[in-house]
Amino acid sequence: MEQADENRKELDLVSRVRHYCRQHRLLPSGGRLLVAISGGIDSVVLLHVLLQLQQEFQMQICAAHLNHAIRGAEASQDAEFVQRICQEWQVELVCEKVDVPAFCRTHDLGLEAGARVVRHAFLRRACRDRGCTAIALGHHADDQAETVVLNWLRGSGVTGLKGMRLRRGKIVRPLFFARRNEIDAYARQRNLSFRTDSSNTDPSYRRNRIRHVLLPVLIKEYNPNLVQVLSQTAELFGELDEWLVQEGRRGYRDCLVERGDGKIVLEIDRFLAYFNILQKYILDAAFLDLSGRRSALRYAELLQLRRLCAKRQSDKTLRLSGGWGLRAESHHLVISAAVPEPEILVSVSGPGMVRLWPPFILEIKADSQPLECIQNNHNRRVEWIDGEKLAWPLTIRPFRNGDRFYPINSAGSKSIADFLADAKVPYRLRRRIPVIFSAECPVWVAGFRLDDRFKVTPLTRSLFKLELGTTGEQSI
């Protein structure tokens, strides 16, 4: 009996999607809809269901698939599969391949974050080029539950706990109400083929551990309705976030003293009179007004800001993630937009002392030092290199996105951005670290690590000593 009820429920998924989309006005009646399809079960079921509603809603459907070039042959097979089913179902398909790992290296992003940026840019572009008015994604209730738990574990506030939204701009999620087992049952009953992404079972991804380990335990041991509860919680936090955004705008107008010349001035006493959480949303409104985007203000940064305001430290500028600058001046809080630092480039034609950007000084001189002493050197501000491998003039500059080197005593290459992040260098200081280049090849991330290609060996005949000094203003 229970199985029969489940079958009726799953077979009725089309009518439930119909009702859900009408209730929330998700589908473009009389317009064009772009459906994102990876080849996985969720997106295949989504496309299959929407095709059955196409005539009723008088909409035209086209599909979009992005090959992220992350999983090699498996990703290419996914693309071929999507092309076959779209041809079989007579659906127009937009297919594109992007080297996401290369994009992440160039833009200093993690693989998951970079893939999301590339994917959304592709979907927006495909939507515009095909004249579509909405983009349908295959996320469902279990995805939402995973997102809420993931954001909670990261320490997210209201913005993170609202999870994904049913509608965000042109993006809509017609399966957002459905459970994963309902989608699986629908695919079985309709005999739908789909691809399985091997990375979805990789335990190195935190989301996979939440999906396959944490949530099943919580559901079994604590609350069998946990997915529904988390979905409802996300909906409530979504409403709370909307209300806080509105209140933040009102608070911003109340605190605003001056706006212009790339800065915003708020009255400190009025600002501090608001609850902590509203202070964050007031700053969000200010950042949005100044630059057109909200901040990613962390709780720790907000506490720093409150201390700055309380002490009226007019001589200190607080640099936030994203490059924002905040300074307390008497009774005013001055917010300045992120300004890209000018390119710093120093050319060195030969040995000698060279002054870099403050506070760094670099000395290069010919030297003769036993290999044993070099190998036992523990002063990270001093390094010896094989002079015969240098091509003068040398160039000294901060790293750029995409710069990679071969850290000595490490396996393979590494992006300098990742290396400095792993070395726990604060984000605001990473672009200040000098990197010595020989013919665009990194020689030394000064004060941190030599490139393996320039190390001193028993065969070295010409030796140079590099020493990084400072003027005492700041250290790395």
Q: pLDDT of 195-218, one tens digit each?
A: 988 777 777 778 889 999 999 999
Q: Which residue has the higher pLDDT, 231 or 341?
A: 231
What is the overall mean pLDDT for the chain?
Answer: 87
Residue 267 bridge partners (DSSP): 332
Contact 419, 376 (CB under 8 A): no
Q: Which position has the higher pLDDT, 192 or 114?
A: 192
Q: Is the pLDDT of residue 473 over 60?
A: no
**Both ends of the chain: CA-CA distance in Å?**
69
Give yes or no for a contact between 185 and 42, defined as CB atoms under 8 angstroms apart. no
- Domain boundaries for CATH 3.30.465.60 within the chain: 236-336
pTM of the model: 0.66
Distance set, CA 371 to CA 121, 377, 461, 464 (Å)? 52, 10, 11, 12
Q: Is 300 helix (H, G, I), strand (E, B) or coil?
A: helix
pLDDT-wise least confident of 166-180, 225-239, 322-336? 322-336
Q: Where does the chain hold its CATH 3.50.40.10 domain(s)?
A: 346-470
Residues in the chain: 476
Give the pLDDT of residue 307: 80
Q: What is the pLDDT of residue 200?
A: 77
DSSP secondary structure, 189-240, as one string: HTT------GGGG-TTSHHHHIIIIIHHHHHHHT-TTHHHHHHHHHHHHHHH
CATH number of 2-138+173-193: 3.40.50.620
Average pLDDT over residues 135-157: 92
Residue range(s) of every CATH 3.40.50.620 domain in the chain = 2-138+173-193
CATH class of the domain at 346-470 = alpha beta
HSE toward the beta carbon, residue 94, CA cutoff 13 A: 21
Q: Which CATH number among 3.30.230.70, 3.30.1330.60, 3.30.465.60, 3.40.718.10 corresponds to the domain 236-336? A: 3.30.465.60
Residue linked to tokens 């140079």: 464
Q: Is residue 410 predicted with pLDDT exceeding 90?
A: no
